[in-house]
Structure 1
Amino acid sequence: MRTILILFIVIGLALLSAIYLSIEKQPLTTGIAQFTPAHIDRAKNILSRNDPRRMKSGVLRTITISQEDLDLVVNYLANSYGKGSSNIDLQQGMARVRATLELSPNPIGRYLNIDAKLRETKALPRFEYLHIGKLPVPAFVADWLLQFGIKQLQANKDYGAAADIIKNVSTSDDMLRIVFEWNDALPNQLKALLVPPKEQERLKAYQERLVELTGKPGSKRSLRLNELMRMLFELATQRTNNGGDPAAENRAAIIVMAFYVNGKGLGAIIPAAIQWPKPTSRIVTLGGRGDFSQHFTISAALAATAGSPLSDVIGLYKEITDSHGGSGFSFNDIAADRAGTRLGELATTSNNGAQKVQRQFNAGLRESDIMPEVKDLPEFMQEIEFKRRYGSIGSPAYIKMTNEIERRIAVLPLYR
């Protein structure tokens, strides 16, 4: 009995020591992911070359990613989900990964720092070394933990295809190559990873409310966005008052709204949603225009689910694409993007902000309360005209215009 007690004490002290050594007071890495339209353009090309609709199950494919793009994506994920940052250095046959995750306030420290080097093998990489804070983790232990985690995923019927897809990872200076084997079951399994069951249930509740709202006899062919939002946020308020998480309820309302406004079904992200009741198709307008409501809701959903850096640049990227022969670059579309982003942030960042948005919509908001006046802003500019008037993205003239858009949004009561 005494031996067992001593063993428990030793194990407890070892765990406390490991925790103490793992947590530090200073971050190992710092930095915010800054997306540009060029990054989005490259990502779009990678996705186009590896479109799953053109892939055959069992066929090996290779994706090549630059260190810059890989580092940006990993850093963005660390920014968004761990309040941290990361840095990746690719070398011939080696990859060094450094990352910092911010922890809740505690007496030991605020940061979990990870420093690892992985070396290339004929299959998946193995650890050269792994340090968690000041705690060195033996390479064989790190390799075992990695293999154990992969085996657990492979054995899971829901995630097995996703865990088994990658066959080889190799590195050269500034480049990463991933060889993977496509599996037809992968898309649905990845969607299951992205949208947990509890979140699916929440989204279904708003989908059902949308079916009720759009299916009423005598309903108009078109809806104003502020009216649609008021009705969905009314449900968000009810569910919050019944013990729901206000930010989570708002997020679900925004996602359902965005998919509906843009003519997409939730089956695109939730396989089970293909069988859900479908709302009646209506045109949803903002400021009398359908494109404004689309810009607004897409940016709101992106901000509500992934933060603002990505939603900002996706809106900007679309406008740049339009200037290359589409409808043209429009600052009023940028205004709709930015207003939507502000709503998505405010409605989901904190409980206070989430409940403020619910109260505002329940009290009744006009279109002019959620979207600033934009009739005087330049639009439909083709590339030549845009360059003549503004030079390039980031020029003084361009920044002056975007600052004016931000000023107009900031004075609206909803965003104060």
Structure 2
Amino acid sequence: MSVIRFLGALITGLLAVVVLLMVLVLDTSPSISANASEQIADADTVKKLLAQIRRSINDRERGHVITVSEQQVESLVGFVQRAAPYIHGTSAIQPDHGTIEASVAVPALVTTLYLNLEIKVLPADELDIDYVQIGSLSLPGPFAVGLVESALNIYTDSEIGTQAKEQITRVAMTDTQVAVSLKPMDSFLMQLNEIRAGFDDERDELTKLTAYYLRYIAGREIALKKKPQPFNAYLNLIMARAREQSTQENVLQHNKAAVLALAIFIGHHRIANFVGDVQPDVEHALKPASSVLLRGRSDLSKHFIISAALKMLSEQDVTVAIGEFKELMDRGMGGSGYSFVDLTADLAGVEMARVLADPDTALRAQDTLAGTPDESIYMPEIDGLTEGLSKQEFTRRYEKVDSEAYLQEVEQIRARLARMPFYSREFAG
């Protein structure tokens, strides 16, 4: 009986600790409420940040300083909110500190609770977190950083957490921006690749199938032609192959792998980073010999298939938010401008992925896409859609991305998609 009493007391104590932690970290109301459509108004500024990050990766033998403005941070936070509406966040940068705040809605039995988070960062010759506040629980910064560092090291069986922390050699702040000095990225990136290779040692079925379909489509005669080729011809080929290889039991996995392979081949080879080691030669990524056209444009084929792949890998809101954010970035100097044509291709790609990922329509979708003579069954007409809008012109016409005028434009695109039989509910019947 003493053992039973001990176990009972232990379980009761553990439950009490769990309940206490929940009481401490969860609140009944959010600490902040931010408008994502206003936050992403300056999304075009993020291009400069991405360029800095690319330079630090490409020129990995040298140290770099990444300068991040408050506008850029707010834009990225706004993107997260558009992709995951249950998250709200904001940031502030001052000469003596910077803060990031977030509220995450957590569904409970009878109500919605909130995980409220605040992180305060100080300027220093290292990564210096003053504190991390989670609900009513306040953690000293060094302790919180140490927890994350140890968790990463243990999970990856490496020192990657420690290495990541030590990559930062200085953090400086002004009224509007923070400058983060980084060590040369070479050894850190090599360590990341080793960790990824370790995870890839146990290649799952999706990775194997994606590699198979990638090799298949790269080996077709069409991939070697020097003149631009229709996207539909590639889709016909890979869907016909998927139809031959799949059954009712594994059709969803084959469809997912086929779409991912096409996105890696036609869209961008870096999509493979979401899947694993699928290239026969990592130094020479497979790609078509000529451009691939959807509605007569190579950019639309990329938008369409990459959005389809992202939908296969994530939730629809995330995919749409990525497409929308990319268009907002394009409004700035040097960009192609905001394009509702590109957004149409994004949304159409999401819809195709939805049909291919639905057990009720997956097999029929294979048959349809394998035999369709042109793209009209899955990509709507683009006539009459606005594109090439600068930031100023976009703001003049639509103000922001939740304005009535903007939502009407998006609704017109969705209406075009809804009229297509391939995307209708009747297709499942």
Query: What is the match of residue 181 of structure 1?
Result: 183
What is the correspondence of 1:381-400 to structure 2 with a 5 Å cutoff?
392=396, 394=398
Kept in 2, the 8 Å contact 1:37–1:317? The answer is no
Shift of 1:181: 0.9
CA RMSD of aligned residues (A): 4.6
Structure 2 residue 269 is matched with structure 1 residue 257: no
Question: Retained in 2: the 8 A contact 1:30–1:84?
Answer: no
Residue 83 (structure 2) aligns with: 80
User: How do 1:212-251 residues align onto structure 2 when only pairs under 5 Å count?
Assistant: 212-216=216-220, 221=225, 224-232=230-238, 241-242=248-249, 246=252
Q: Percent identity?
A: 19
Q: Within 5 Å, which residues of 2 pair with 1:266-345?
A: 272-276=277-281, 278=286, 281=289, 283-301=291-309, 305=314, 306-315=318-327, 317-318=329-330, 334-344=340-350
Match of 1:96 in 2: 99
Partner of 2:186, secondary structure, is: coil
**Distance (Å, rounded) in 1 between the aligned partners of 2:70 and 2:80:** 15
What's the CA shift string for 1:19-71, capped at 9, x where partnerless? 244333433334463489974442222333451366353x4322221223213
| Cα distance in structure 1, aligned partners of 2:149 and 2:126 | 13
Q: Give the deviation of 1:368 after TM superposition.
A: 0.9
Tell me, in whole angstroms, the C-alpha distance in 2 between the residues paired with 1:122 and 1:213: 51
- Distance in 2 between the 1:363 and 1:374 partners? 22
Tell which deviates more after alignment, 145-154 or 59-68: 145-154
Deviates more, 1:74-83 or 1:206-215: 74-83
Structure 2: gaps spanning 5 or more residues: 425-429
Paired letter, 2:144: L
- Secondary structure of the residue that 2:13 maps to in structure 1? helix
Q: Is contact 1:23–1:108 with CA below 8 Å preserved after alignment?
A: no
Distance, in Å, in 1 between the alignment partners of 2:265 and 2:184 is 30
CA deviations on 1:144-173 (whole Å, 9 max, x unpaired) are 232132245467448455453223334443
1:144 and 2:147 matched: no
3-state SS, counterpart of residue 164 of structure 1: helix
User: Aligned residue for 2:427?
Assistant: none
- Tell me, yes or no, if the aligned pair for 1:370 and 1:412 is still in contact at 8 Å: yes
Asked whether the equivalents of residues 82 and 321 of structure 2 are also in contact (C-alpha less than 8 Å), the reply is no
d(CA) in 2 for partners of 1:165, 1:208: 37
Q: Does 1:55 align with 2:55?
A: no
Q: Which moved more, 1:337-346 or 1:176-185?
A: 337-346
Partner of 2:214: 210
Q: How far, CA to CA, are the matches of 1:242 and 1:281 in structure 2?
A: 35
Deviates more, 1:393-402 or 1:120-129: 393-402
Structural mapping, 1:108-123, within 5 Å = 109-123=112-126
Q: Which runs of 5+ in 1 are unaligned?
A: none
Counterparts of 1:190 and 1:14 in 2: how far apart (Å)?
A: 36
- Change beyond 3 A, Cα 1:363–1:337: same
Per mean C-alpha deviation after superposition, the further-off stretch among 38-47 and 365-374 is 38-47
Question: What is the one-letter code of the residue matched to 1:175?
Answer: Q
Go from structure 1 to structure 2 and tell me whether the alpha carbon gap of 1:151 and 1:171 turns closer, same or farther (over 3 Å shift). farther
Q: Distance in 2 between matches of 1:382 and 1:411?
A: 27
| Equivalenced residues, count | 397
Distance 1:25-1:249 versus aligned 2 partners, 3 A rule: farther
Work out the CA distance in 2 between the residues paired with 1:240 and 1:26: 48
Q: How far did 1:227 drift?
A: 4.3
- Aligned residue for 2:36, secondary structure, equals coil
Is the 2:355–2:365 Cα contact (8 Å) retained in structure 1? no
Alpha-carbon deviation of 1:295?
3.5
Give the aligned residue type for 1:360.
Answer: A
Contact map agreement 2:355 2:362 (CA 8 A) in 1: no
Q: 1:342 to 1:376 in 2, by over 3 A?
A: closer
1:67 equivalenced with 2:73 (yes/no): no
1:71 counterpart SS class: helix
Q: 1:414 to 1:202 in 2, by over 3 A?
A: same
